[in-house]
Copies of this chain bind each other. A is one copy, B any other.
Amino acid sequence: MLDFEKMGGLLPAIVQDAESGEVLMVAFQNHEAFERTRETGRMHYYSRSRDKLWMKGESSGHVQEVREILVDCDADAVVFKIHQVGGAACHTGFRSCFYRRLEPTGELTRTESEQVFDPAQVYAQ
């Protein structure tokens, strides 16, 4: 049903806060990560750098609970509307990975996305 072939077995997964609509992160899924996500209701991804399946929150406890899955016209990208346990999707502790705005000057400034936790504390546990 999904076309994993265009990117050599991967699809971009866009993760959006089910309530606010904020885009929280983008990662990649292979077929297994997609199926595990559907089966468990928790976001799973494929890490290209580590060449392995991982579940978001497996070390921090900050899992992502799936509320809705949307498929695009070409069936080669998926939007997941989720509830983020712990309030932050980014490993830096920000609510969204997209916490920086590119200004017309080329400068990166901070958006309104809050820093919810201190990564040194969460990942040290």
Contact = CB atoms under 8 A, between A and B. Distances in A.
Interface residues of A, number: 37
A102 B70 contact: yes
Interface in A54-99: 68-74, 77-79, 90-92, 94, 97-99
Nearest to A16: B23
Given A6-B48, A14-B14, A14-B23, A100 B77 contact: no
One complex includes copies of this chain to the number of 2
Given A22-B21, A48-B6, A99 B77 contact: no
A29 to B, nearest CB: 13
**Across chains A and B, which 9 residue pairs bring their CB atoms closest together, nearest first?**
A21-B21, A70-B98, A72-B97, A69-B102, A26-B77, A73-B97, A12-B12, A71-B100, A79-B98
Interface of A: 1, 6, 12, 14, 16, 20-23, 25-26, 38, 48, 68-74, 77-79, 90-92, 94, 97-102, 104, 106, 108, 111
